[in-house]
Amino acid sequence: MTTTDVRPAAVATELRRTERSWSRDRFENRFFGIARWGVIVGLLIATIFPFYYMVLLSMRGLGDVLNNPGSLWLELGQVSLNAYTRVLAPVASGGEGFLGFMRNSAVLAVGTVVLTLAVSVPGSYAVSRLRFFGRRQVSALFLAVYLFPSILLAVPLYVFFTRVGMRGSLIAVILVYVSQTVAVSIYMLRNYLDTIPVSLEEAAALDGCSRLGIMRRISLPLAMPAIIANGLFVFMVAWNEFLFALLFLVDDRDRWTVSLGLSQLTGNSIEIPTTVLMAAAVITTIPIVVIFFASERLLTEGLTSGAEKG
């Protein structure tokens, strides 16, 4: 009789405990599911809204902006591209000459990316895979070099390139940018290469692959996401850099970059309409956004391409 009474009570207690546990689990799943989307939406609003408002101001007429600056909607009849026309038009035609600035920035950014990756990819592979004296100290020095503020190097570099007659040259600015980015690029790529299993390279070596063949067929395809990410990082640094562009290129307007042009517009904010300033900011931002979305597919494809080809 006692045994018969105890079993149903134990079963009922266990059922209540299971129901409480299931209810708590369901509550946590729902709460964190809603909180996750709330955080995502909040971050999207904080990221996209400033750019949206900037585009909105750049496509409105100056009169509409002055009459209703807080409007968040743009009717089709209010669309005006006069600000973009003025920003892109050459100075001789009454514009701001941003088309030439973008060309100069593109040359600097692409040249910096190519040279930096050409040095950092084999350099990071050597630091990650080869054993030599001072290997650990070299890795730390790469990061230590990047920690020095750019202003400390500005005066020596300015004096050096002035004496060799290269001040005002885009090549000199590219060399400066490469010296600023190659250290951190090697450090970042080395950390990623350390995550690639050495056994893959050893298997390729047993199949008769040389060191260069292993890099080309195994290491580089697997490291492609990190290489592309580093390329994007270097591109953004070179595209947005202001200090060295100001030191080396300020004397010749035809060699200005978008950062110098945007600074000149900001300095003349009393004379320059807000719509023109916003249009210049949009034009400066769009290349970065386009390149990021264009390379997003390569970032994901590189995760498995090395394993398939090896």
Question: What confidence tens digit (pLDDT) does each residue in 262-278 have?
Answer: 888 877 656 778 888 88
**83-309 belongs to CATH 1.10.3720.10:** yes
* Confidence class for position 22, pLDDT limits 50, 70, 90: low
- Provide mean pLDDT across the span 24-45: 81
Q: Which of 301, 149, 169 is nearest to 245 (CA)?
A: 169
Find tokens 């790469």 and name the residue.
Answer: 142
| 179 contact partners, CB below 8 Å, separation of at least 6 | 153
pLDDT tens sequence across 81-97: 888 888 988 888 888 88
Burial 13-35 (b: 16+ CB within 10 A, else e): eeeeeeeeeeeeeeeeeeeeeee
Tokens of 161: 């390139």
- Lowest-confidence pick of 54-58, 207-211, 258-262, 285-289: 207-211
Q: Distance (Å, rounded) from C-alpha 202 to C-alpha 209?
A: 9
Tokens of 197: 């299993």
pLDDT tens sequence across 141-199: 767 777 777 788 888 888 898 898 888 889 999 999 998 888 888 888 888 888 888 88
pLDDT, residue 16, reads 59
pLDDT, residue 103, reads 93
